[in-house]
Amino acid sequence: MSAEATNPGNPGAAGRKRGRRRLELRGLRRIGRAALLGPAPRDGLPHAMEHVAKVHRGHHPDADLDILARAYLLAESSHRGQLRKSGEPYITHPLAVTLILAELGAETTTLTASLLHDTVEDTEVTLDQVRELFGAEVCYLVDGVTKLEKVDYGAAAEPETFRKMLVATGNDVRVMSIKLADRLHNMRTLGVMRPEKQARIAKVTRDVLIPLAERLGVQALKAELEDLVFAILHPEEYATTRALVMEYTARPDPLTALARRVRTVLDEAGIDAEVLVRPRHFVSVHRVRLARRELTGADLGRLLVLVAEDADCYAVLGELHTCFTPVVSEFKDFIAAPKFNLYQSLHTAVTGPSGEIAETLIRTHQMHRVAEAGVIALGNPYAPTDGADAPEGERADPTRPGWLSRLLEWQRTTPDPDTFWTSLRDDLAQDREITVFCADAPSDGSPPVGGGAIGLPAGASCVDAAYERHGEVAHCCIGARVNGRLATLSTVLHDGDSLQLLMAPDSAAGPSPEWLDHARTPAARLAIARWLAGPQEPGARPASAGEGPVTEPPADRRAAGHDRCGADPVAPASVLVVADLPGAAVRLAGCCTPVPPDTVTGFAVRGGTVTVHRALCPAVARMAATGRQQVGVRWRGAGQGGHGCRVTLLAEAFSRPHLLADLTEAIASQGAAVVSAAVEPPHEQRVRHTYTLHLPNAAGLPSLMRAMRQVPGVFDVLRAGRARQAAALRP
């Protein structure tokens, strides 16, 4: 099950009491008691839903609560008998997730889906039943957050689940809103788990979920997730920071006195404004302490000024800079130039009468709602508007920013789960975006034509801009002009730069390996790696390095929209395999990486996909034992191994210097390309190297394994499936 047990002693609890929108603890206790009482309705609304309904009506007075009541009754009856590790009824988890979203102002459809978000994954309820009872929109949201089963996907289950959620988010951002609230409640209640599992979940939260919360602008969830991760992964720093905050709490707060002075100044100027002291969360305090080495009372928070109109923001700014001494270097205007995650605000800093420096945020009430809740504050961005004339079945999504479009594009061409997972973390680690104004520079020397703004992560180079603008046509790029001056493709771009890309007239031109050193975006790195790995078969969509030629999935599986609920986003099928299931997409299993002429078998999994395993793979017995439908599969062309393929090999060796270099050289001598490599820590002078390799011809696998075995110190080279079986037999 997806939810974890409740932990009343969670160390992040104290941090959640400071200065941000949070779940009311009394509300949690209330819905917990109501869940124990059962679903008996009172005035048409179940007891457990009363607090959720009250909060929801505070944001949406005309909300239809009937659908929420029906969703709760289905969730409660489906999860009945299931308990969390703390012994609480499982229904308390979807209730808590729904209350988190209700506090942030989510609309009714999102709350309905959040109540049902674990039913398809953990109970006998099907997507068809959800669609029939609650409609295609709710069905799509529930399907988007439903995990792929580990028995089907093995070690690839987690990255493929996130791939599925991201694709669904590209069609409806509310999918990720539910996932973030789900992860927040699970992080709040993680204390009874084993420390190693807490750390694993916290690391994924840090690397993937927190950056996604930042990019979607959901600062309220991001701040609390950061504090919870901080407490688990860095307990000593967390304890030090918490002690500092508690120490300053007992002292007079200089920001409170300064806030009173600001209110007086604005009242005298006739500006209607609300002035608040906004405490920092623990991670923010920790960062300030690292940057300034020494904290003052004013560093524990910021002033927040809320007004009615955009023009009032600038009026407040003028009064503050007139009546107080401003710190000019701290001024930023995110109203005229909003951040890529919808954030708008004026930032400044002023000096108080005692010399304290107070960072100040100035924004409208609507800007504040969006700053806290991000895309959740926008309600349903797909709701029809009066006079809208959009084509049937299409939705214009105003919340789909450039970073999401880029991410969806490069993941489409990255079927390998390991490469996708690594690239996703790298992409999300780039937490700032720049805008570059790009125009095409014709090769004949005539003036630039076309143009337009493109978004790139901070630190991106001309190489990244070329692939963002032109896709794989960028292979022909030979140079650039940045702000009118000739520049190399390695030149790092800055916000507001103008760029002209110079393209070679010869389409046979291509990138050099050095381009990989200058590329920061996954889309550019993957495209360059594909080109360097060799040409693709005619008519095949370019595949990522490490994958054979691939074909597009059927058109009905590529379509997006409400009519598609239930269709899982899957990696494209290899053209090497034929399955005895008409219309099914085919996926080579990552756990055993079958290649021709291996004996293979297939299993039908969720979403109409057939996963292909080697017959000796341990997963075959597990899937057969769970009653999975076995499907006949065979290699196209009788499995003669005449196509490129991906394979995972494990080299068992005695630890010695230069072993990695010698193995890599042996692999290169056989014409294979390394997609990824991992080295386990030595144990009793033995070490294991794991390589995921791309072979231009599967028939070359035996000679490759022989070459690796001949490397001094290597005593065995095994295929991935066999290696797992061998490991199980070791003492």
Q: Rounded distance, CA 363 to CA 369, Å?
A: 10
pLDDT tops 70 at residue 425: yes
Q: How many CB atoms lie within 10 A of CB 288?
A: 18
Higher pLDDT, 540 or 432: 432
- pLDDT tens readout for residues 621-652: 887 877 778 888 888 764 444 566 788 888 98
Read off the pLDDT of each residue in 659-672 and give the average, rounded to a whole number.
87
**Residue 351 CB burial class (10 angstroms; 0-12, 13-18, ≥19):** middle
Active-site residue, from 122, 172, 312, 547:
122
Most confident of 15-24, 359-368, 449-458: 359-368
Is 121 assigned a catalytic role? Answer: yes
- pLDDT-based confidence at 721, cuts 50/70/90? low
When mean pLDDT is compared across 76-80, 438-442, 580-584, 674-678, the lowest value belongs to 438-442
When mean pLDDT is compared across 71-85, 491-505, 630-644, 687-701, the lowest value belongs to 630-644
Specify the DSSP class assigned to residue 462. H
Write down the pLDDT at residue 47.
Answer: 78
Higher pLDDT, 116 or 34: 116
Write down the pLDDT at residue 434.
Answer: 78
Higher pLDDT, 99 or 172: 99
Q: Rounded distance, CA 707 to CA 433, Å?
A: 46
- pLDDT tens readout for residues 37-46: 445 454 457 7
> Helices 108-115 and 50-59, interaxial angle, to 10°?
160
Q: Where are the beta strands (DSSP E) in 322-368?
A: 325-326, 332-333, 346-351, 357-364
- pLDDT tens readout for residues 408-417: 777 777 777 7
DSSP result, 205-242: IIIIIHHHHHHTT-HHHHHHHHHHHHHHH-HHHHHHHH
Phi, psi of 304 (to 5 degrees): -125, 120
pLDDT tops 90 at residue 134: yes
- pLDDT tens readout for residues 464-477: 999 888 888 888 88
DSSP result, 523-548: HHHHHHHHHHH-PPPTTPBPPPTT--
Of 199, 169, 174, 175, which Cα lies nearest the Cα of 187? 199
In this structure, the dihedral spanned by the alpha carbons of residues 507, 508, 514 and 517, taken in order and rounded to 10 degrees, is 40
When mean pLDDT is compared across 101-115, 191-205, 272-286, 539-553, the lowest value belongs to 539-553
Higher pLDDT, 327 or 540: 327
pLDDT tops 90 at residue 263: yes
Read off the pLDDT of each residue in 215-230 and give the average, rounded to a whole number.
93
pLDDT tops 50 at residue 216: yes
Whether residue 597 is preceded by a cis peptide bond, meaning omega within 30 degrees of 0, is: yes
Write down the pLDDT at residue 28.
Answer: 47
Q: Rounded distance, CA 273 to CA 266, Å?
A: 7
Most confident of 59-73, 430-444, 482-496, 692-706: 59-73
Write down the pLDDT at residue 307.
Answer: 96
- pLDDT tens readout for residues 327-380: 988 899 989 878 777 789 999 999 988 888 899 999 999 999 999 998 888 776
- pLDDT-based confidence at 218, cuts 50/70/90? very high
Assigned token pair, 704: 């490759």
Write down the pLDDT at residue 440.
Answer: 60
Write down the pLDDT at residue 272.
Answer: 94
Active-site residue, from 50, 121, 310, 426:
121
Write down the pLDDT at residue 518.
Answer: 87
**Residue 132 CB burial class (10 angstroms; 0-12, 13-18, ≥19):** exposed
pLDDT above 90 covers a percentage of the chain that reads: 31
- Dihedral sign for Cα 339, 343, 345, 351, please: negative
150 three-class SS: helix
In this structure, the dihedral spanned by the alpha carbons of residues 589, 594, 595 and 596, taken in order and rounded to 10 degrees, is -120
- pLDDT tens readout for residues 111-132: 999 999 999 999 999 999 999 9
Is 122 assigned a catalytic role? Answer: yes
21, 104 Cβ separation under 8 angstroms: yes
Task: Mark 262-281 as b/e (b = at least 16 C-beta within 10 Å).
Answer: beebbeeeebebebbbbbbb
Write down the pLDDT at residue 444.
Answer: 45
Write down the pLDDT at residue 108.
Answer: 94
pLDDT tops 60 at residue 710: yes
pLDDT tops 70 at residue 509: no
